[in-house]
Amino acid sequence: MPTTKRAQPDACSLLDTDHKNVKKMFSAYEELMESKAASATGKKRELANQICMELTVHAQIEEEIFYPAVREAIKETDLLDEAEVEHSTAKDLIAQLQDATDIDDMFDAKVKVLGEYIDHHVKEERNEMFPKARATKLDLVAMREQLAARKEELMAELMGEPA
């Protein structure tokens, strides 16, 4: 009985799922920016906090697990250097959002710029880094499990729950 080989979910697919989830949150935030409802301000703060938490955890699992493994497995590491610089800049914007007391036009602008920045970063990972990682001998299926476990641990920490 012939079977068709389907690619198993791997580290790249887990990271890309995170990318897609955050993209939806940025889109929802943009809709709130257009809303004139009084409740929009509180919802924007809540959604911005969620975006910041997701991105913080995502960046940390990439930096702790994915990037070091890929860096060892591929010859050209310019892409990884750029990704780490992009993470650093995104973290600066995240800190500004988390420290903000007012949900005003500048807050909205920072969320919008962060979203655009993340879009650029995601395109580079999806189109360049992930294909290169998948072309190596790295066990990306096993790495997916490692990333998922670490993500769960970090989310629990940020939510104040025991790991």
**What does the alpha-carbon distance between residue 134 and residue 83 come to, in Å, rounded to a whole number?**
17
Match 């994915």 to its residue by tokens.
Answer: 66
Structural domain including 23 reads 11-158
pLDDT in tens, 116-140: 999 999 999 999 999 999 999 999 9
3 assigned to some structural domain: no
4 assigned to some structural domain: no
CATH of the domain at 97: 1.20.120.520
CA angle 114-130-15, nearest 5°?
Answer: 55
Structure tokens at 81: 């250097």
**What does the alpha-carbon distance between residue 133 and residue 74 come to, in Å, rounded to a whole number?**
8
**Biggest CA-to-CA distance, the chain:** 63
In this predicted structure, the answer to whether residue 89 has a pLDDT above a threshold of 60 is yes
163 assigned to some structural domain: no
103 assigned to some structural domain: yes
Give the count of domains, the chain: 1
- pLDDT reported for residue 162: 60
CB-based contact 59:151 (threshold 8 Å): no
pTM value? 0.91
**What does the alpha-carbon distance between residue 16 and residue 10 come to, in Å, rounded to a whole number?**
10
41 assigned to some structural domain: yes
- Please provide the DSSP assignment of 132-148 as one string: HHHTSS--HHHHHHHHH
CB-based contact 130:44 (threshold 8 Å): no
In this predicted structure, the answer to whether residue 159 has a pLDDT above a threshold of 80 is yes
In this predicted structure, the answer to whether residue 8 has a pLDDT above a threshold of 90 is no
pLDDT in tens, 24-38: 999 999 999 988 887
Cα separation of the two ends of the chain: 44
H helix runs in 74-104, sequence order: 78-99
Instruction: Please give the C-alpha separations between residue 134 and each of 37, 43, 80, 81, 88, in angstroms, as whole numbers.
Output: 46, 39, 15, 19, 25
